Amino acid sequence: MKKITATLLLSLFGAMTVLAQEAEATINAGDTAWLLIATALVMLMTPAGLALFYGGLTQNKHVLNTIGMSYMAFCTGTIVWVVAGYSLAFGEGNAFIGDFSNILLTGIGVNDVSGSIPTLLFVVFQGTFAAIAVAIVSGSIIERVRFSTWGIFSVLWVIAVYAPIAHWVWGGGFLSESGEMDFAGGTVIHINAGVAGLVLSYLVGKRMEHSLEEVRKPSSIKFMILGSALLWFGWFGFNGGSQLAADGIAANALLVTNVAACAGALIWLTIEWFIVKKPTLIGMASGAVSGLVGITPASGFVDVSGALAIGVISGLVGYWGVVHLKSMIKHDDTLDAFGIHGLVGIAGAILTGVFANPEINGGAGLLYGNAAQVWVQTKAVLITIAYSAVGTFIVWKISSLITQGGRIDEELELEGMDIGFHGEQHMVMEEKQIV
């Protein structure tokens, strides 16, 4: 009897040891290392990449203010995310919104695991997404909005608009349950932010100098190109990191991201070359960003051929949105947040339902026998557009009420926000001509 008891105890001890070893092994070092890098890459996109991209495209007298809006959006977005945004987006909740169980990250310990990475790493990775989403919105209203109003808006928008949509798609909400494919943020980030920018461009109104040729002169094409390159670089973390693992799907995401960006850049350049006879660097960079936006929801589901098609279509859609649609609907979307992020995001989300290859990640699109996926994607797009538009309208009205008006006065707009509001100036060094 004693021998049997000893044997049982040894067996129980052995089983507990195995379980303990398995528990310790749930955090995968390779996956965690990759997500640490991916998070840093996505962080770089907002206060550096987007700030320089937007700053290079705006007028000299508003450069620092434009950069500051992206910089502040990253800070406010990050703080709001850890205070309440993460809990509302990824808390268990219901089909429409999370809960308050993780306010200020309550209940999440340093040893908690999500998949094969620390939960805290997942929190900060997703936080960089929230921050860049609200920063993108600023591109539609720069050069005429109060800095204080923008700060309040960025806080409320992440809570009331971004977090619910993130929950619908990634937090177990109803769009996820419907089978929508959004690998890295086509609906959650780009359509959401682009539509918000369009709504704000109408609410804030056109710039006083909107019709003047002077306002179309970028402050620094060099800054813009550098910013676009940093965005492109960070996008590898954006899309590749969304697999939350260092595996073949992440590698494929990096590959198709790069291919789509190149295709978008070249198609925009080609269009300009043939139509206006002036292939510009601004156009090429805008095409690259269009390709990146278009491939974002599809990056975990398509192969190289799908990426090429999406990149080309994204470049075409982006060009049409910026050059033609903008003049048709007569809105002053300063830096084309809707034309590039919103419109191309819509195209990319729907095209995911066309080109998704089941051999990549299991999901099939129209070309692989699943025509219904196109309708699933389209419904998600329409729902996102509607909620973002209404939510943004309400949030802006509240923000404007708090600051007693969201638009700067005429004198400050003409003088420029840099010197008139911030008391700082962007010095432009004239290049000496070398004979």
Q: pLDDT tens across 372-382, in order?
A: 999 999 999 99
CATH class of the structural domain 28-420: mainly alpha
pLDDT computed for residue 22 by the predictor:
44
How much is the pLDDT for 8? 44
For residues 11-25, average pLDDT: 45
The whole-model pTM stands at 0.92
pLDDT at 217: 82
The structural domains of the chain, with segments of one domain joined by +, span 28-420
* Least trusted range by pLDDT, from 4-13, 23-32, 262-271: 4-13
Nearest to 382 by CA among 353, 349, 341, 344: 349
Neighbour count for residue 110 (Cβ, 10 Å): 7
Distance, CA of 277 to CA of 265 (rounded, Å):
16
pLDDT band at 156 (very low <50, low <70, confident <90, very high): very high
Grade residue 215 by pLDDT with cuts at 50, 70 and 90: low
Is residue 387 within a helix (H) or strand (E), and if so which, with residue range?
helix 372-402
- Residue 30 is inside which H or E element, if any? helix 29-44
Q: Determine which of 198-202, 392-396, 431-435 has the lowest per-residue pLDDT on average.
A: 431-435
What is the structure's pLDDT at 213? 67
Q: pLDDT by residue (tens digit) across 97-150?
A: 999 999 999 999 999 999 999 999 999 999 999 999 999 999 999 999 999 999
pLDDT value of position 54: 97
Dihedral pair phi/psi, residue 117, rounded to 5°: -125, 160
Residue 261 makes CB contacts below 8 A (sequence gap 6+) with 232, 235, 288, 289, 291, 292, 295, 311
Instruction: Please report which confidence band the pLDDT of residue 208 belongs to, taking 50, 70 and 90 as the band edges.
Output: confident
C-alpha distances in angstroms, 324 versus 147, 276, 321, 339?
Answer: 30, 14, 6, 10
List the structure tokens of 234.
């960070």
pLDDT tens profile 51-97 = 999 999 999 999 999 999 999 999 999 999 999 999 999 999 999 99
DSSP, res 36: H
- Band (pLDDT 50/70/90 cuts) for residue 279 is very high
Contact (CB, 8 A) for 142 and 58: yes
Model confidence at 230: pLDDT above 70 = yes
- Residue 313 pLDDT exceeds 50: yes
Residue 363 has phi, psi (to 5 degrees) of: -85, 135
Mean pLDDT of the chain: 92
- Give me the pLDDT at residue 330, please: 84
| % of the chain beyond a pLDDT of 90 | 85
DSSP 3-state percent helix, strand, coil across the chain (nearest 5): 75, 0, 25
Give the per-residue pLDDT at 308.
Answer: 98
Which whole number is the average pLDDT over 307-325?
97
327-359 pLDDT, tens digit per residue, is 898 889 999 999 999 999 999 999 999 999 999
